């Protein structure tokens, strides 16, 4: 499925600005762990109309609607059937479908929504197979509808700061970037209620690799201009064995037969490390561990010919040459390089919340782009590429860390696509 399609025949969604819209009418699908928060954040944003909410569970739709009491929003509710979401998408008064469902539903829902003439914002990862990645790309190009993956980490404060620093040349030429999703989810994964039908435990039980690469990759790819000046070339990926998940499954299975299936199973290894070489000769290292008892980290490391930055373990640090900047120097740097969007909505974002504010900045920026007819920061090529690393890592892991080519979803247009507009001025 390593397609080569000549770019001449294809519409380029990179830098594509859809016609402005005065208001953005939104339908949400999925009201589990992420959905209600997204609905709430959107309810604070000017120009948004929340038209419809959908979940399998009627109760979840009602509870979320209840949250909107006292606001101008009065969404219709869809629930009950596996395909109730299609009724929501088929409405003709929705501009944006916001998809917050288990991973396997992301692409089917996104494709259906674009085909129905709607822009799409879809949770991470956007796709689970190579075929799905291409389906997203082809559908977005054909329909000229945005397909933005909701990679919220691109909008966190230090990530935005380092993106702006990179744009202004602070790091010189970027040589290497590191990111990760290290977050102990053992208790959540084995919970019977947290993830609907324990879907996330199943992902970890039947697949081995970096199942969740986009939180670490997104900010690093923007800083390194991937899809926009450089491109991933090949990757290699290696997993440790599993030292904790099977043990937990076996313990639980002794008294609860729900877990028997998992006690038979080999789980994905605790730590996966994936290395990526780019066409311009630079490198990335991305890690994934959701089962070891250790503190949260996305690493977020940028190493250039003139400067260096690293977010985790905190506090965030920047260095020039051999020395770390002291607090005073760092504060001055922060003042100089804080992007406009943070100056504009950073304080409000911290109040509204969502991972400390980044979720709100992401939603605000999406609406700002749609209302002002600006290209989105994350397009369908980013969604496909950042997601495909997950499935390619599985192939590499299964073959003794064999190197695997990464497909170029842009069809060669990465050479001329413009970088993300980090002035983030909006209009
Ligand atoms: O844990 C965090 O909130 C993750 N987000 C999110 O993606 C999900 O994995 C959740 C557990 O369900 C970040 O770390 C930014």
Residue-range definition of the domain harbouring residue 328 = 154-339+378-415
**What is the tens place of the pLDDT at every residue in 22-48?**
999 999 999 999 999 999 999 999 999
CA 96 to chain centre: 17
Share of the chain above pLDDT 70, in %: 97
In short, whether 183's Cβ falls inside 6 Å of ligand 1 is yes
Average pLDDT over residues 280-291: 98
Q: Both 100 and 185 in a single domain?
A: no
Identify the domain boundary among 128, 150, 172.
Answer: 150
Residue 105 makes CB contacts below 8 A (sequence gap 6+) with: 30, 99
Identify the domain boundary among 94, 121, 150.
Answer: 150
Query: Distance between CA atoms of 277 and 392, rounded to whole angstroms?
Result: 14
Model confidence at 286: pLDDT above 60: yes
In short, whether 33's Cβ falls inside 6 Å of ligand 1 is yes
Quote the pLDDT of residue 349: 96
In short, whether 186's Cβ falls inside 6 Å of ligand 1 is no
Q: Both 187 and 330 in a single domain?
A: yes
Query: Distance between CA atoms of 329 and 324, rounded to whole angstroms?
Result: 9
Q: Whose CA is nearest to atom 12 of ligand 1?
A: 33
Contact 210, 277 (CB under 8 A): no
Model confidence at 271: pLDDT above 60: yes
Average pLDDT over residues 183-211: 96
Average pLDDT over residues 195-217: 96
Q: Both 176 and 304 in a single domain?
A: yes
Contact 343, 364 (CB under 8 A): no
Quote the pLDDT of residue 409: 98
- Cα separations (Å) of 192 from 143, 184, 187, 259, 388? 39, 17, 10, 10, 29
Model confidence at 424: pLDDT above 90: no
Model confidence at 353: pLDDT above 70: yes
Q: Both 180 and 279 in a single domain?
A: yes
Q: Both 285 and 173 in a single domain?
A: yes
| 332 belongs to a structural domain | yes
Q: What is the position in ligand 1's atom list of the atom closest to the CA of 181?
A: 14
Cα(185) to centroid(ligand 1), Å: 9
Residue 388 makes CB contacts below 8 A (sequence gap 6+) with: 127, 130, 133, 406, 407, 409
Pocket test for ligand 1, best of 36, 159, 183 (most atoms within 8 A of CB): 183
Contact 112, 86 (CB under 8 A): yes
| 259 belongs to a structural domain | yes
Rg (CA), the chain: 21
| 350 belongs to a structural domain | no
Model confidence at 130: pLDDT above 60: yes
This complex has an ipTM of 0.96
Model confidence at 5: pLDDT above 90: no
Report the chain's terminal Cα–Cα distance, integer Å.
41
Average pLDDT over residues 69-73: 97
Quote the pLDDT of residue 420: 85
Q: What is the position in ligand 1's atom list of the atom closest to the CA of 195?
A: 12
Q: Residue with structure tokens 């996330």?
A: 200
- Cα separations (Å) of 373 from 46, 155, 242, 251, 426? 15, 20, 47, 55, 10
Cα(404) to centroid(ligand 1), Å: 28
Q: What is the position in ligand 1's atom list of the atom closest to the CA of 296?
A: 14
Q: Are strands 317-320 and 147-149 parallel, antiparallel or unpaired?
A: unpaired
Instruction: Read off the tokens for 222.
Output: 């923007």
Q: Both 139 and 168 in a single domain?
A: no
Query: Distance between CA atoms of 45 and 49, rounded to whole angstroms?
Result: 9
Quote the pLDDT of residue 8: 59
| 128 belongs to a structural domain | yes
Q: Both 335 and 203 in a single domain?
A: yes
Q: Both 391 and 292 in a single domain?
A: yes
Instruction: Read off the tokens for 289.
Output: 């561990």
In short, whether 215's Cβ falls inside 6 Å of ligand 1 is yes
Model pTM score: 0.96
Closest of 142, 156, 35 to residue 97, by C-alpha = 35
125: preceding bond cis by omega (within 30 degrees): yes
| 268 belongs to a structural domain | yes
**Number of Cβ within a 10 Å radius of residue 347:** 11
CATH assignment of the domain containing 59:
3.40.50.720
| 73 belongs to a structural domain | yes
In short, whether 153's Cβ falls inside 6 Å of ligand 1 is yes
Q: Both 169 and 317 in a single domain?
A: yes
Quote the pLDDT of residue 422: 66
Average pLDDT over residues 179-197: 96
**What is the tens place of the pLDDT at every residue in 359-399?**
999 999 999 999 999 999 999 999 999 999 999 999 999 99
DSSP H helices in 116-180: 130-143, 157-167
Q: How many domains does one find in the chain?
A: 2
| 325 belongs to a structural domain | yes
Average pLDDT along the chain = 95
Closest of 93, 67, 159, 107 to residue 362, by C-alpha = 159
Quote the pLDDT of residue 1: 44
Q: Both 159 and 56 in a single domain?
A: no
Determine whether 74 is exposed, middle or buried from the number of CB atoms within 10 Å of its CB (0-12, 13-18, 19+).
Answer: exposed
Quote the pLDDT of residue 45: 96
Quote the pLDDT of residue 100: 98
Quote the pLDDT of residue 265: 87
Pocket test for ligand 1, best of 100, 103, 180, 215 (most atoms within 8 A of CB): 215
Q: How confident is the model at residue 101 (pLDDT cuts 50, 70, 90)?
A: very high
Average pLDDT over residues 169-181: 98
Q: Whose CA is nearest to atom 15 of ligand 1?
A: 153
Share of the chain above pLDDT 90, in %: 94
**What is the tens place of the pLDDT at every residue in 78-94?**
999 999 999 999 999 99
Would you call 111 helix, strand, or coil by DSSP? Answer: helix
Quote the pLDDT of residue 426: 47
Identify the domain boundary among 150, 173, 199.
Answer: 150
Q: Both 136 and 165 in a single domain?
A: no
Cα(183) to centroid(ligand 1), Å: 8
More confident of the two residues 77 and 422: 77
Quote the pLDDT of residue 52: 98
Largest CA distance in the chain: 61
| 365 belongs to a structural domain | no
Instruction: Read off the tokens for 184.
Output: 């102990």
Quote the pLDDT of residue 427: 43
Q: What is the DSSP code (8-state) at residue 359?
A: H
In short, whether 41's Cβ falls inside 6 Å of ligand 1 is no
In short, whether 355's Cβ falls inside 6 Å of ligand 1 is yes
Q: Both 70 and 133 in a single domain?
A: yes
Query: Distance between CA atoms of 22 and 240, rounded to whole angstroms?
Result: 51
């Amino acid at each position: 499925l390593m397609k080569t399609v000549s770019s001449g025949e294809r519409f380029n969604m990179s830098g594509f600005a859809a016609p402005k819209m005065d208001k953005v009418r939104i339908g949400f699908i999925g009201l589990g762990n992420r959905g209600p928060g997204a609905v709430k954040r959107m309810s604070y944003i000017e120009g948004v109309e929340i038209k419809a909410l959908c979940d399998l569970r009627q109760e979840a739709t009602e509870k979320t609607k209840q949250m909107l009491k006292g606001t101008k929003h009065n969404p219709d509710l869809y629930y009950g059937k596996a395909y109730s979401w299609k009724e929501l998408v088929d409405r003709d008064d929705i501009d944006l479908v916001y998809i917050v469902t288990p991973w396997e539903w992301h692409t089917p829902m996104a494709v259906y929504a674009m085909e129905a003439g709607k822009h799409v914002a879809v949770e991470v990862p956007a796709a689970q197979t190579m075929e799905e990645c291409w389906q997203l790309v082809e559908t977005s190009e054909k329909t000229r509808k945005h397909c933005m993956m909701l990679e919220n980490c691109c909008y966190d404060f230090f990530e935005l700061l380092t993106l702006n620093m990179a744009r202004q040349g602070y790091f010189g030429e970027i040589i290497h970037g590191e990111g990760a999703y290290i977050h102990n989810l053992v208790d959540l994964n084995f919970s019977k209620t947290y993830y609907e039908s324990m879907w996330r435990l199943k992902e970890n039980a039947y697949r081995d690799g970096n199942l969740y690469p986009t939180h670490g990759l997104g900010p690093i790819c923007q800083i390194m201009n991937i899809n926009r000046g450089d491109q991933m070339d090949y990757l290699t990926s290696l997993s440790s064995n599993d030292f904790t998940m099977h043990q937990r499954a076996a313990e639980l299975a002794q008294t609860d037969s729900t877990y028997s299936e998992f006690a038979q199973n080999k789980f994905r290894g605790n730590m996966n490390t994936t290395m990526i070489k780019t066409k311009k000769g630079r490198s990335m290292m991305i890690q994934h561990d959701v089962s070891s008892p250790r503190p949260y980290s996305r690493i977020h490391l940028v190493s250039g010919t003139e400067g260096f930055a690293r977010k985790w373990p905190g506090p965030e640090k920047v260095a020039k040459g051999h020395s770390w900047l002291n607090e005073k120097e760092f504060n001055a740097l922060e003042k100089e390089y804080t992007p406009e969007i943070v100056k504009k909505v950073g304080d409000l974002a911290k109040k509204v919340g969502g991972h400390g504010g980044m979720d709100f900045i992401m939603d605000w920026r999406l609406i700002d782009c749609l209302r002002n007819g600006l290209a989105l920061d994350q397009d369908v090529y980013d969604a496909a590429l950042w997601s495909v690393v997950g499935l390619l890592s599985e192939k590499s892991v299964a073959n003794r860390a064999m190197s695997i080519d990464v497909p170029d979803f842009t069809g060669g247009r990465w050479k001329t696509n413009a970088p993300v507009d980090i002035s983030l001025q909006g209009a």
